[in-house]
Structure 1
Amino acid sequence: MQLWKLTFIYLFAIIACTFLLLMDVPKWQTFILLFLYVFLFTMYPHFNALLWTKNLKKVERFLEANRHKALYAYPYAIANQTIAEQKAALHKIITTYKQPYVKHNYASILAILENNYDQALSEAKQIKKEPFKSYMVAHSEAYLGNFEKAEALLTNLPEKWMSSSIKSLISFKKQDEENFKLHSTNAIKQARGIQKYLLTHSLQEMEEKFR
């Protein structure tokens, strides 16, 4: 967010807070109102783009404004940049973040992008956090053609879009266009925020390979 906008938001908050206190509004009510106001104008757009919205244009604008940050450079690259730039974005995440589950998760994605599916599976199995581990292991098994192993992990996936995404990948690997369209459509409908954006662009790229 631009500096002048933040300055205006916080200046108005200070004035409003002073006014409410002068009107003898209880301090706890003033605090709640102040928090809701700041959340609405500063944090809500961030969380909305990340987790809640179904509007891909909002996500695109958010990613474009934040593409200098490691975690947002990769989804932006999927839709707007080359494979080489996508790999560079993944490398940046892997080297920037210290959490092991983040490193192994994105290392698995990078290995898939490089068509090194055994390495992708190895990285996925080192993820200690669920459901990320089950999702990436299922993803890797599907790319390896181990469809039964991938399907066995679907019960570990709490989000509907996760199961639909794995099913669409299995259908893609089987060259089953009808089921691919069914499951990919469901995955995109069920997802929100950046995940919807990622699925939309990655699954559309797969769909084009049927033509």
Structure 2
Amino acid sequence: MLKQHIIFYTVIFLGCFLLGFFEAPIYLIGLLLTLSMGWYMYVQISPVLFSKDIRKSESYILKHQSNPMYQFYYAIANNLDDEAEEAMGKFQSKYKNSERRALIQTTYALYKHEPSEAKKYVHLIKSHVYRTYYEGLIAAESRKFKEAKDHADRLPEGWMKNSILAEMAEKQGKNSEAKERAAMAFEQTRGLQRYILYKNFETHLAS
């Protein structure tokens, strides 16, 4: 990764130097810098934000395991309990933002199938949409299906609603509905979220 950065910035520097040497307009040099930086940033973050390729997303996550967030999500996606606990400790030490911590703590509690523990943190999530989503997952995990459905109904159409409905259907033994909802949620996501959903519903999506 460091080698890629060095090569990129070297090429940009040489390009700007040559444009300056040949007295190119300042706006042209600025345009080159803007377009180059934009393209490079897109290439760097697309696997976790925009990609539909699960393998590319996983490869990116594995290359960035020094980041506790990526370490955590890879661990829970692959049921690596020790690694998930280790990543949680690192995350707690690195990030002090209460909402970000609440998201991770709620996710971790749900991963361990501890809805009562998840309830301790979910109210700290400021985003109404994300809070409703996690409340729906907590209700589904608690097998309170009417409550889970109520939360899902308050969400706009999209992967969050379909994820809750897929979880509900799976726990109720409605495999065909779970598969359908999981597939819908999967198609509505990109990047890291798509990867996590795939791993969570792999038995439905891989069949």
- Asked if Structure 1 and Structure 2 have the same fold, meaning a TM-score greater than 0.5 normalized by the shorter chain, the answer is yes
User: Is the Cα–Cα contact under 8 Å of residues 78 and 202 in structure 1 kept in the other structure?
Assistant: no
Q: Which residue of 1 aligns with 2:83?
A: 85
Within a 5 Å distance, the mapping from 1:195-210 to structure 2 comes to: 195-204=193-202, 207=204
Q: CA deviation at 1:30?
A: 1.7
Where do 1:25-174 residues align within 5 Å?
25-41=24-40, 43-80=41-78, 82-158=80-156, 160-174=158-172
Distance of aligned partners of 1:44 and 1:67 in 2 relative to their CA distance in 1, 3 Å threshold? same
Contact 2:182 2:201 survives alignment (8 Å): yes
* Contact in 2 for aligned 1:94/1:107 (Cα 8 Å): no
Contact 2:170 2:178 in 1 (8 A): yes
Q: Contact (CA 8 Å) 1:9, 1:38: kept in 2 or not? A: no
Deviation at 1:14, TM superposition (A): 1.2
The separation in 2 between residues aligned to 1:57 and 1:159, in whole angstroms, is: 27
Instruction: Please state how far the C-alpha of 1:79 moved relative to its aligned partner.
Output: 4.4
Which contiguous aligned blocks of 4+ residues in structure 1 show a shift greater than 4 angstroms?
Answer: none
2:76·2:111 contact (CA, 8 Å) conserved in 1? no
CA contact (8 A) 2:71 2:83 kept: no
- Cα deviation per residue 1:178-207 (whole Å; 9 max; x = unaligned)? 1000001111111100100000001125x5
Report the RMSD for the aligned CA atoms in angstroms.
2.3
Structure 2 CA distance for partners of 1:201 and 1:135, relative to 1, 3 Å: same
Residue 136 of structure 1: CA displacement?
A: 1.0
| Farther off after superposition, 119-128 or 183-192 | 119-128
* TM value normalised by structure 1: 0.87
TM-score, reference length from structure 2:
0.88
Shift of 1:81: 5.5
Letter in 1 for 2:177: N
Per-residue deviation at 1:58? Answer: 1.0
Identical-residue share of aligned pairs (%): 24
Residues 204 and 178 (structure 1 numbering): CA distance in 2 closer, same or farther, change over 3 Å?
A: same
Structure 2: 5+ residue runs without aligned partners? none
1:159 positional shift: 6.5
